[in-house]
Amino acid sequence: MIDNEKVLFSGMQATGNLTLGNYLGALKNWVKLSDEYLCFYSVVDLHSITVRQDPAELRKRARALLTLYIAAGIDPFKACIYFQSHVSGHAELSWILNCFTYMGELNRMTQFKDKSAKHADNINAGLFTYPVLMAADILLYQADVVPVGVDQMQHLELTRDIAQRFNGIFGDIFTIPEAYIGKQGAKIMSLQDPSKKMSKSDENPNASIYLMDDTDTIMRKCKRAVTDSLAVVAYSDDQPGVKNLIDIYSSCTNKTPAEVEKEFEGKGYGDFKMAVGESVVSVLKPLQDRYYELSKDKAYIDKVIKENAEKADYYAQKTLRKVKKKVGFPEVPRI
């Protein structure tokens, strides 16, 4: 690590299929951030098991997600991309931080309430303490910044509270992380209900474009996207469906919404939707080709997994040793 180089941490769950929203809103941005920070990008498989998973499917999806990180353009020997479960420090630090987190703080977490409602038959302790593991993920690497959406801001605030509480007792052990403030990725909404985000778990198959959708599927979903009866391509809150399609087209072509409006002035939604679909294909097809190429190279992916697990563990242990010493755990004798 270079002196004064700032650290960034982020991760994605190995559940469901990544959507165009995940790519344009986060993954695409991660590639650029690798030039500015020492980045740790985790496949957060420990978080995934708060909901019951098929073991073989989880392993398959975790490897596929790590491969997608690389296919999207992240250099795995520049940024550290790794499986959370391969670094025991995540679970170790999470337990310690549990003992410095209050029940009242966890009771206020809105995501626990939301997920409990969705999984009423499996409201487990992991679901409740999930934000503490998230805090451990961030603090383990002394992250300076964390790119978070509005829905995760509450968790980052809790992370800051826990770190400040620990530091107040034991001294300056943890870096207090800040939300990443910079050029935010596009917020892509559902193609069928533009009032909500495009989601990996949407039950409507036409609502989300998935990263591995083929060309015909992408074009069909764009043609079926909800618009309105105004027949005007305008970037307006009064036209949420059209505005969402403009955001997608803008992100895929690097054109401003104003430029898009001008390009489709006097044209109908049919032409516009066709162009949106083609722009999405132009972005996803190279990513898909690279993914299939990487998937065939087992030795290379295995090398990435092994070397990055060792790199992540090295940084994790540096923090964990300090924490264990401060809380009073006996050190292993050097004989």
Can you tell me the mean pLDDT for 117-129? Answer: 80
What is the pLDDT, as a whole number, of residue 242?
A: 97
pLDDT, tens digit, 9 for 90 and up, residues 28-56:
999 999 999 999 999 999 999 888 899 99
In the annotation, is 187 catalytic? no
- What φ, ψ does residue 331 adopt, rounded to 5°? -85, 150
Cα distances (Å, whole numbers) of residue 236 to 185, 228, 270, 271, 274: 19, 12, 19, 19, 20
Given the residues 6, 187, 200, 311, select the one marked as catalytic. Answer: 200
Distance from C-alpha of 131 to C-alpha of 328, rounded to nearest angstrom: 24
Inform me whether the pLDDT recorded for 112 exceeds 80: no
Given the residues 28, 60, 113, 115, select the one marked as catalytic. Answer: 115
Inform me whether the pLDDT recorded for 88 exceeds 90: yes
Mean pLDDT, rounded, of the chain: 93
Lowest mean pLDDT among 110-114, 138-142, 165-169, 296-300: 110-114
What is the pLDDT, as a whole number, of residue 51?
A: 85
- What φ, ψ does residue 145 adopt, rounded to 5°? -135, 150
Inform me whether the pLDDT recorded for 1 exceeds 50: no
For 219-267, the DSSP string reads HHHHHT----SS------TT-HHHHHHHHHHHHHHT--HHHHHHHTTT-
What is the pLDDT, as a whole number, of residue 3?
A: 47
Inform me whether the pLDDT recorded for 182 exceeds 80: no
Inform me whether the pLDDT recorded for 151 exceeds 90: no
Inform me whether the pLDDT recorded for 222 exceeds 80: yes
Lowest mean pLDDT among 43-57, 102-116, 166-180, 317-331: 102-116
Percent of the chain with pLDDT strictly greater than 70: 96
What is the pLDDT, as a whole number, of residue 186?
A: 72
pLDDT, tens digit, 9 for 90 and up, residues 233-290:
999 999 999 999 999 999 999 999 999 999 999 999 999 999 999 999 999 999 999 9
pLDDT, tens digit, 9 for 90 and up, residues 68-86:
999 999 999 999 999 999 9
What is the pLDDT, as a whole number, of residue 124?
A: 85
What is the pLDDT, as a whole number, of residue 120?
A: 74
CB atoms within 10 A of CB 297: 12
What is the pLDDT, as a whole number, of residue 64?
A: 96
User: Model-level pTM?
Assistant: 0.91
Given the residues 197, 221, 243, 273, select the one marked as catalytic. Answer: 197
Distance from C-alpha of 222 to C-alpha of 279, rounded to nearest angstrom: 11
Inform me whether the pLDDT recorded for 12 exceeds 50: yes
Query: pLDDT category, 4, cuts 50, 70, 90?
Result: low
- State both tokens at 275: 């162009």
What is the pLDDT, as a whole number, of residue 185?
A: 61
In the annotation, is 200 catalytic? yes
Q: For the chain, give the longest Cα–Cα distance.
A: 80
What is the pLDDT, as a whole number, of residue 56?
A: 96
Inform me whether the pLDDT recorded for 184 exceeds 60: no
Helix, strand, or coil here: 52?
coil
